[in-house]
Amino acid sequence: MTSNRLTEHFTLAEFVESDTATRLGIDNSVPPFFLENLKRTAEMGEVIRSILGGVAGKEIAITVTSGYRCEALEKVLCVKDYGQWCARRNLELNDDSWKKYFSHKAHPQGRAMDFKVTGFGNPFHIVRELQKHADLMAIIDQLIQEGVTVAGDGWVHAGWSETPRHEIRTAIFDSNGVPFYSFGLT
C-alpha cells in the first residue's frame, strides 16, 4: 500500500481534493493526527462499496465528492448553514459561535465522506439500502441524502463517530443554497 492509498479503492488525494480550495488558494492538507480518522472513513467507504456492489450484483464505483475539509475550507463551504445554525439558536455570528458550530463538524476531523455511486441508483436508493445493514449502521453517526432534485442528482453523506447517533436524514437546499435537514428519507 503506497503512502497515498488509504484502502484498496480509496486514496488520500481523493479525500482532500477540492475545487473550491484550489480556486481560493486554500491549503487543504490533512494534519497527521487526522490520518487515522481518514483511514477509518475510507474503510467505511469500502464497506459501503461492498454492500452496494453485492446488492447490484456487480462492481460499482464510488466517487468521493468531499472528504477532509480544513477549517478555512469548511468556513467557505458552510457559511449559509452556519448562519442558519446560529439563527436557530439565537446566537450572533462571531468567533465563539463558530467554534461551537465547527467543533461538531465531521469533515474537518476526517470522519465523513460525501459521495456519488455509479451503477447503483440515486442517493435515496443508496441510503435506503445502506440503512438495512446493521454492521454499517453500528458505526454511522449520520447517513444523509443531500441535494437531491427531481432529476435524481445529489450525493450521500456518511459520517462515523465513536458515539454514533445512527441518524438517517434528508437535506434539501433552498434557492439560496441553505440546507434544511429532516429526519428519515423524504
| Domains by residue range for the chain, with CATH | 12-70+109-183 (3.30.1380)
Q: What is the percent of the chain where pLDDT is above 70?
A: 96
Distances (CA, A) of 178 to 26, 54, 79, 122, 170: 23, 35, 9, 21, 13
User: Tens digit of pLDDT for each residue in 100-148?
Assistant: 999 999 999 999 999 999 889 889 999 999 999 999 999 999 999 998 7
Distances (CA, A) of 142 to 3, 24, 60, 139: 28, 29, 22, 9
Q: Pairing state of beta strands 179-183 and 155-160? A: unpaired
What is the mean predicted confidence (pLDDT) over 55-76? 95
**Whole-prediction pTM value?**
0.91
What is the mean predicted confidence (pLDDT) over 53-82? 94
- Give the helix/strand (H/E) hosting 81: helix 79-88
Q: How confident is the model at residue 180 (pLDDT cuts 50, 70, 90)?
A: confident
* CB neighbour list of residue 48: distance below 8 Å, 6 or more residues apart: 62, 115, 130, 136, 158
Mean per-residue pLDDT of the chain: 92
Q: Is the pLDDT of residue 1 over 70?
A: no
pLDDT of residue 150: 62
pLDDT of residue 2: 41
